[in-house]
């Protein structure tokens, strides 16, 4: 695993905007950065793929454990929502994708930092933008990246509840979310699915029909929503969700994977796994650890504790907790930057990677996305 320097393409902004990445620069700072890339050997990619598939299976087994033992209090799931989560799991409701965030240095086993299993983003960048960067750089170059093709094939497996197709919802004012949903919508169209888009705030409830509806009043039978379940189940309309007819993608059981609350359960069940770090609901008996809010997002309210002292902390809206504690992963520094591997799972299998890097050990929403390629 190496970090190499490149000369960006002439008019690279136009090149990435062509494929939909309009937020390549945020507040004057690069988000997409093609002046560097990470190179991986075939062995390193095999290692990441094996770790991803292994972690996903362990996570799925742990969801069954949570369901069996009704451990929903650890996830702050309201009592009236528990049976709905169970039903979504027992009915094997369709799940499309997820993204593991992994610490990896090319030598030691990858370590799980968290599983973004409900509303993962940086998808367009990983699936499309870095691929066309590579083709412009080297037509014969290769990546660990079958994300786009796997998404299309996964959509073909969905059993839609009606002929009015699949609605896609996001908060349109959040550019990254809107771009992600529009990309996913495009992959669904390529799979032959009729689609409609509406802002999440435009989703209505028809009491007479006992169903969610769009602006014209059409029943929403199938809906991909880029809106976290931990927010949805606390909305005013949340009590309608269990009695509604809508198939939600991702399904409700995915919030169990996306919450940091699963990290201590994974360690409890798989303490000898080389891919899982010690984690607990209470401070660990180790000198170096990280405190994370169980439903924190985008690196907010993270505390890094070294030798028992807080050495780094990010602001955010999740400071009231609750929290989990995870042993500090040994992130390797490359030229002053710390990369985190975003390892994508599509239709329950490893499908490719993207990389975010930061000059501190906490990856934030402003951290740069950089491409990768396989070494010759």
pLDDT number for residue 162: 66
Evaluate if residue 353 carries a pLDDT over 70: yes
Q: What is the pLDDT of residue 269?
A: 98
The whole-number average pLDDT for the span 24-33 is 92
Q: 294-352 pLDDT, tens per residue?
A: 998 877 889 999 998 998 888 888 878 899 999 999 788 999 999 999 999 999 999 99
pLDDT value of residue 245 = 86
Contact 263, 326 (CB under 8 A): yes
What was the pLDDT predicted at 296? 81
Asked if residue 254 lies in contact with residue 97, where contact means CB atoms within 8 angstroms, the answer is no
* Average of per-residue pLDDT values in the chain: 93
The per-residue DSSP string of 25-81 comes to: EETTEESB--SEEEEE-HHHHHHHHHHHHHHHHHHHHHHHHHHHHT-GGGGT--HHH
Predicted confidence (pLDDT) per residue in 165-201, tens digit: 999 999 988 999 999 999 999 999 999 999 999 999 9
Better-scored residue on pLDDT, 249 or 362: 249
Angle, vertex CA 250, rays to CA 216 and CA 292, nearest 5: 125
> Is the predicted pLDDT of residue 161 greater than 80, yes or no?
no
352/122 Cα distance (integer angstroms) = 12
Q: Is the pLDDT of residue 263 over 70?
A: yes
127-141, 209-223, 263-277, 358-372: segment of lowest average pLDDT: 358-372
Q: How far apart are CA 147 and CA 127, in angstroms?
A: 5
pTM score: 0.96
């Amino acid at each position: 695993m190496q970090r190499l320097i490149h000369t960006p393409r002439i008019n690279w902004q136009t090149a990435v905007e062509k494929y939909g990445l309009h937020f390549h620069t945020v507040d004057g700072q690069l988000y997409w950065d093609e002046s560097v890339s990470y190179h991986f050997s075939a062995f390193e990619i095999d290692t990441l793929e094996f770790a991803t598939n292994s972690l996903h299976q362990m996570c799925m087994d742990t969801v069954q454990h949570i369901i069996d033992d009704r451990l929903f209090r650890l996830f702050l799931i309201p009592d009236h929502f528990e049976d709905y989560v169970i039903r979504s799991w027992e009915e094997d409701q369709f799940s499309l994708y997820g993204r593991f965030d992994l610490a990896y240095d090319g030598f030691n086993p990858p370590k799980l930092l968290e599983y973004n299993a409900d509303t993962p983003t940086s998808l367009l960048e990983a699936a499309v933008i870095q691929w066309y960067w590579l083709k412009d750089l080297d037509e014969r170059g290769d990546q660990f990246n079958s994300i786009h093709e796997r998404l299309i094939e996964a959509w073909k497996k969905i059993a839609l509840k009606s002929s009015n197709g699949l609605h896609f919802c996001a908060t349109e004012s959040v550019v990254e979310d809107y771009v992600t949903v529009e990309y996913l919508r495009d992959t669904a169209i390529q799979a032959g699915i009729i689609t409609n888009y509406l802002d999440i705030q435009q989703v209505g409830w028809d009491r007479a029909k006992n169903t969610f509806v769009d602006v014209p009043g059409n029943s929403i039978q199938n809906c991909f929503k880029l809106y976290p379940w931990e927010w949805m189940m606390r909305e005013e309309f949340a009590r309608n969700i269990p009695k509604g007819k809508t198939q939600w993608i991702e399904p409700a059981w995915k919030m169990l994977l996306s919450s940091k609350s699963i990290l201590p359960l994974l360690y409890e069940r798989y303490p000898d796994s080389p891919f899982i770090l010690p984690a607990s609901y209470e401070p660990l008996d180790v000198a170096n650890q990280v405190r994370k809010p169980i439903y924190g997002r985008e690196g907010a309210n993270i505390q890094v504790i070294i030798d028992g002292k807080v050495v780094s902390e990010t602001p955010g809206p999740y400071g009231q907790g609750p929290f989990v504690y995870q042993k500090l992963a040994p992130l390797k520094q490359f030229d002053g930057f710390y990369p985190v591997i975003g390892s994508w799972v599509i239709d329950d299998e490893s499908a490719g990677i993207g990389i975010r890097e930061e000059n501190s050990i906490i990856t934030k929403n402003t951290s740069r996305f950089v491409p990768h390629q396989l070494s010759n």
